[in-house]
């Protein structure tokens, strides 16, 4: 198959593949550096509006991106009303985002997952990580959950449905387009069946367990595949330990630990529905006797467990994003420090501690500093054993640190005696 990016922005003969006439989006002087390095986003203040008035475009238009000197930088789709005014999808500056390009990218994404996993349970498309900005697809066996986050991808909706149907042959495709970011793109938030029949629940297999969870009514696309490898890592250390899975959702980590031989696993979450599915999955996996659920706000629940003198040999903390905007950084880091301190107070001497953050704006070093402070507050010592990352079906774009959103650490906790 011809690589659509191998055209190098050169103009060919009329009728040649990739040849088209796209309107030009010109960047301000010096603003091409990030794109030249491989980044895919164009912010509105980087556009030379004298040469390329944003108001001349409609949301989703494909454009030829050029530097102030007229050097081609690639093809992008634009949204004049969004902070991220353009998203580059191809290095070839003449290439429209057409069905042929979409098929090539989706087939490549599928081939990667089929080489990584022996069962059809994975994130099939991860936006910029798969050179498909604005598109996320999760595969739950014969059912696909799709999120379109941008006007550019929204225009390709029917092509996306057709190509996914041809490549994967799903029995149903659910559009889970209720994410808040769509409002910034001028798009409605809606959940709807796009093709076939979609059940109320999906079932997958992960880390030796069977999990069932809601689709249309679930969080995000229904399941958090990004933590799969971290759950497996925790499970490898869980044998004979009491495990506490904080912000457990439907019990992914707690059940994996129980399957690996944990003495018990407590799944703590504020969502009663999520915990009902965790209990249902425990039954399906033959683990009901070692899994319990605790429906309570995390902060309050951790304080109550501490007051009761509880202690666990392995504790995991995987909260929702506490820092959704840069201006929330100080408040969010304080919240991370508090919840980690409370969880560390429940981790026994010699126990293991997993702490993760899915906040894009929180860097790995930020989280390390949070853990250092939380350990001092809790009066424990931490040894960082390894870093935790998003799973391989969430590939990181090397020029876009924004795509490495999940950071974490596996630690050992010790409680020094007096004077030691």
Q: What is the pLDDT of residues 137-149, one digit of tens each?
A: 999 999 999 999 9
Residue 119 and residue 170 in one domain? yes
Average predicted confidence (pLDDT) for the chain: 93
Count the neighbouring beta carbons within 10 Å of the beta carbon of residue 121. 21
pLDDT at residue 20 in the model: 52
Same domain for 278 and 194: no
Half-sphere exposure of 33 (CA within 13 A, CB side): 3
User: What does the pLDDT read at residue 16?
Assistant: 34
Tell me: pLDDT of 8 over 70: no
Residues 68 and 104 in one domain: no
- pLDDT tens for 39-90 read 999 999 999 999 999 999 999 999 999 999 999 999 999 999 999 999 999 9
Range 19-40 average pLDDT? 91
Rounded to the nearest 5 percent, the helix, strand and coil shares of the chain are 30, 30, 40
What is the band of 18 on the pLDDT scale with cuts at 50, 70, 90?
Answer: very low
- Is the pTM of the predicted complex or chain greater than 0.85? yes
pLDDT at 11 over 70: no
Q: Give the confidence band of 420 by pLDDT, cuts at 50, 70, 90.
A: low
Mean per-residue pLDDT for 194-209? 96
What's the number of domains the chain is made of?
Answer: 3
Query: Same domain for 182 and 254?
Result: no
What is the reported pLDDT for 219? 83
- 89 and 76 Cβ atoms separated by less than 8 Å: yes
Q: What angle do CA 379, 268, 263 make, to 5 degrees?
A: 80
Annotated catalytic, 358? yes
For residue 117, give every residue at least 6 positions away whose Cβ sits within 8 Å of its Cβ, in sequence order, or none.
393
Q: How confident is the model at residue 19 (pLDDT cuts 50, 70, 90)?
A: very low
pLDDT at 217: 83
Catalytic position from the list 90, 209, 257, 358: 358
More confident residue, 16 or 161: 161
Q: What are phi and psi of 377, to 5 degrees?
A: -60, -35
Model pLDDT, residue 416 = 84
Among the three residues 136, 167, 199, which one is the final residue of a domain in this structure?
199
Lowest mean pLDDT of 47-56, 159-168, 318-327, name the range: 318-327
Whether residues 309 and 227 fall in one domain: yes
Q: How far is residue 300's CA from residue 290's CA, in Å, rounded to a whole number?
A: 23
Residue where a domain stops, chosen among 33, 62, 90: 90
Burial of 32 (0-12, 13-18, 19+ CB in 10 A): buried
CB 77 within 8 A of CB 63: yes
CATH number at residue 247: 3.40.50.150
76 vs 61: CA distance, rounded Å: 8
pLDDT tens-digit readout, 212-226: 999 988 888 889 999
Note whether 206 and 316 are same-domain residues.
Answer: yes
In this prediction, residues 97-116 reach a mean pLDDT of 98
Residue 128 lies in a domain: yes
> From residue 74, how far is each of 5, 69, 96, 147, 235 by CA, in Å?
9, 14, 10, 25, 44
Q: Please indicate whether residue 17 or residue 116 has the higher confidence score (pLDDT).
A: 116
The domain of 186 spans 99-199
Per residue in 226-283, pLDDT (tens digit) is 999 999 999 999 999 999 999 999 999 999 999 999 999 999 999 999 999 999 999 9
pLDDT at res. 359? 92
Residue with tokens 């959950």: 145
The answer to whether residues 251 and 262 belong to one domain is yes
In a domain, residue 188? The reply is yes
DSSP 344-358: HTTEEEEEEEEEEE-
User: Do 228 and 356 fall within a single domain?
Assistant: yes
Q: What percent of the chain has pLDDT over 70?
A: 95
């Amino acid at each position: 198959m011809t690589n659509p990016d191998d055209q190098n922005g050169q103009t060919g003969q009329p009728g040649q593949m990739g040849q088209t006439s796209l309107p030009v989006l010109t960047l301000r002087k010096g603003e091409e550096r990030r794109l030249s390095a491989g980044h895919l986003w164009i912010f509105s203040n980087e556009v030379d509006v004298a040469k390329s008035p944003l108001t001349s475009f409609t949301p989703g238009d494909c454009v030829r991106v050029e530097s102030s000197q007229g050097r081609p930088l690639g093809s992008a789709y634009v949204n004049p009303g969004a902070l991220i005014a353009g998203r580059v999808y191809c290095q070839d500056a003449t290439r429209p985002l057409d069905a042929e390009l979409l098929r090539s990218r989706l087939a490549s994404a599928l081939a990667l997952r089929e080489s990584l996993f022996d069962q059809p349970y994975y994130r099939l498309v991860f936006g910029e990580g798969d050179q498909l900005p604005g598109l996320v697809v999760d595969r739950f066996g014969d059912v696909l959950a799709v999120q379109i986050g941008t006007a550019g991808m929204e225009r390709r909706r029917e092509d996306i449905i057709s190509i996914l149907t041809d490549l994967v042959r799903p029995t149903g495709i659910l559009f889970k387009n209720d994410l808040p970011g769509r409002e910034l793109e001028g798009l409605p938030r809606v959940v709807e069946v796009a093709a076939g029949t979609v059940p109320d629940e999906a079932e997958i297999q992960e880390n030796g367990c069977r999990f069932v969870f809601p689709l249309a009514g679930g969080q995000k696309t229904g399941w958090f595949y990004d933590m799969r490898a971290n759950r497996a890592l925790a499970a490898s250390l869980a044998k004979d330990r009491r495990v506490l899975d904080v912000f457990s959702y439907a019990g992914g980590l707690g059940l994996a630990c129980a399957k690996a031989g944990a003495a018990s696993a407590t799944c703590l979450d504020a969502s009663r529905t999520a915990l009902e599915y965790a209990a249902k999955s425990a039954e399906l996996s033959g683990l009901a006797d070692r899994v319990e659920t605790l429906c309570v706000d995390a902060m309050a629940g951790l304080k109550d467990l501490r007051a009761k003198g509880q202690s666990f040999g392995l504790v995991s903390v995987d909260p929702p994003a506490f820092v959704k905007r840069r201006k929330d950084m100080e408040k969010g880091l304080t919240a991370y420090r508090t919840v980690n301190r409370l969880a560390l107070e429940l981790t026994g001497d010699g126990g293991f501690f997993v702490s993760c953050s899915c906040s894009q704006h929180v860097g790995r070093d930020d989280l390390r500093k949070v853990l250092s402070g939380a350990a001092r507050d809790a009066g424990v010592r931490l040894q960082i054993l390894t870093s935790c990352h998003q799973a391989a079906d969430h590939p990181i774009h090397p020029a876009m640190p924004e795509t490495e959103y999940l950071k974490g650490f596996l630690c050992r906790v010790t409680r020094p005696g007096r004077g030691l």
